[in-house]
A and B are shown apart, each in its own frame.
Chain A
């Protein structure tokens, strides 16, 4: 099934066929926002340097205003760093594009398009042939559990279903890099848990490099290969935690969250990450 979809290398959308690897490199990235009306400028990100390996699942956590969403926007080409560079493989990221797919916190689906049209829009924009579009949509609709909802409009769906459409819209592009900006923050706790598990399942099919931003420590520990903890503004890397170094952690995200959460190792790691973040939270 998967091979049939990924086939025929001459198509313009086969980003995975590219020679460049799908690693991401942040080189001394800083972001300075100019102050409004004479206010002093704000340093949002301060010399952020990091290498993210191909197919790695990286989760960035930190207190509010630590600039984690800004890092994501820069990775997607929606924002340009004031100084420093971001690379995807050997390509300098300067503008958004379908090889750097983004899943937004508030879904950002096109309300006048049906589920299928929303998913298909990116494929059409990139001139993917009709037959190939059909293939990919037929593959992803059941994967995201929206078979039978093809003709529905976003407002007719629950928040969880809308976010699954947004995830499918990103994944059908076969991106080299998948960027997720607190994608489950708008969902209730139950939907959130189910979506986390489903995301792992869908992601495992092609394993694009993922950079995932969240407030939730539990989500970070469950999903991540590595966790980047940020300081409060100006955002710097406080600590990088390799979850894979914890025995058994490689399989955490492949199992149901409620089982994994009972592990002492999981709870220890969660406590450690939370401790790092708590030091950074200031009540203003």
Chain B
């Protein structure tokens, strides 16, 4: 908290000392005032809550899709050689294409819509989840697999009742990286893959830039940072709880 206050104070000091124009770099107070104003006044599609809400919704849909596909696929690739050989080349290609490069393509497929933004966020969050689930299986104690086979477990049981719990620490770490990646891709997704949309924090950044309102752009960026940090905190708590269960 002290660290944060020092940097905000420094920002303020620089703006005051060099008499910077508010169009170029507003003071923290101007940014905060503008954000507070936006909580009860609309720009484009709605108030700050509406914009933040839409951004979160887009992010969550992409993130959950990446979780639902990435973790089972990673576990499967770690466990079944055929799946590994079949899917790995495809995945290696996929994960080396940056999320923003998918955006124009997403527009072709889904149009300027929720779907294309979800897709871009998905492309950012998906690889780390898959890789970590895969590594979780590959690095787990093979003795546990043999023990489960000896006890009479079939391949599916082994995957979900031995492989998954054994790789929980890595899976949760992958979740955390995927969360950060997905959230970082959000603004790009909203700016490039969502033209015409009148909602989202990315939209606010764009509006601020087009209207030379630095207070709005910086305010939206700050909100993005705070939400991202909060999301990470939630997952870190989950990680801690998971570690305690183990």
Point out residues on A near B: beta carbons under 8 Å: 76, 78, 95-98, 100-102, 104, 106, 108-112, 121-122, 125-126, 169, 173
Contact = CB atoms under 8 A, between A and B. Distances in A.
A97 B151 CA distance: 6
Nearest to A78: B146
A112 B246 contact: yes
B150 A110 contact: no
Given A110-B162, A125-B157, A104 B151 contact: no
B165 A112 contact: yes
Contact of B246 (A100, A102, A104, A111): A111
Nearest to A73: B146
16 contacts: A97-B150, A98-B151, A98-B152, A102-B146, A102-B147, A104-B146, A108-B143, A108-B144, A108-B147, A110-B147, A110-B162, A112-B165, A112-B166, A125-B157, A126-B151, A169-B151
A96 B149 contact: yes
A253 B197 CA distance: 81
Given A96-B146, A108-B144, 14 more contacts: A78-B149, A78-B150, A102-B147, A102-B150, A104-B143, A108-B141, A108-B147, A109-B147, A110-B166, A111-B246, A112-B168, A122-B151, A122-B152, A125-B157
A98 B178 CA distance: 40
Contact of B143 (A106, A112, A169): A106
Interface of B: 141, 143-144, 146-153, 157, 162, 165-166, 168, 245-246
Nearest to A125: B152
Given A110-B165, A125-B157, A104 B152 contact: no
Nearest to B157: A125
Rank and list the top 8 A-B pairs by shortest CB-CB distance, nearest first. A122-B151, A108-B143, A108-B147, A96-B149, A98-B152, A125-B152, A96-B150, A112-B165
Contacts of A106: 143
Contacts of A101: 150
Contacts of A100: 150
A246 B117 CA distance: 81
Contact of A98 (B143, B150, B165, B168): B150
A125 B151 contact: yes
A112 B245 CA distance: 7
B202 to A, nearest CB: 41
Contacts of B150: 76, 78, 96-98, 100-102
Contacts of B246: 111-112
A121 B148 CA distance: 9
A62 B144 CA distance: 26
Contacts of A95: 149
Contacts of A111: 166, 246
A236 to B, nearest CB: 26
Given A108-B141, A112-B245, A112-B246, A121 B151 contact: yes
Contacts of B144: 108, 110
A97 B147 CA distance: 10
Nearest to B158: A125
Contacts of A122: 151-152
Nearest to A173: B151
Contacts of A108: 141, 143-144, 146-147
Contacts of B148: 121
Contacts of A97: 150, 152
B153 to A, nearest CB: 5
A110 B158 CA distance: 12
Contacts of B149: 78, 95-96
Central interface residue in A76, A100, A108, A109, by most chain B CB within 10 Å: A108
Contacts of A109: 147
Contact of B153 (A102, A125, A173): A125
B152 to A, nearest CB: 4
Nearest to B141: A108
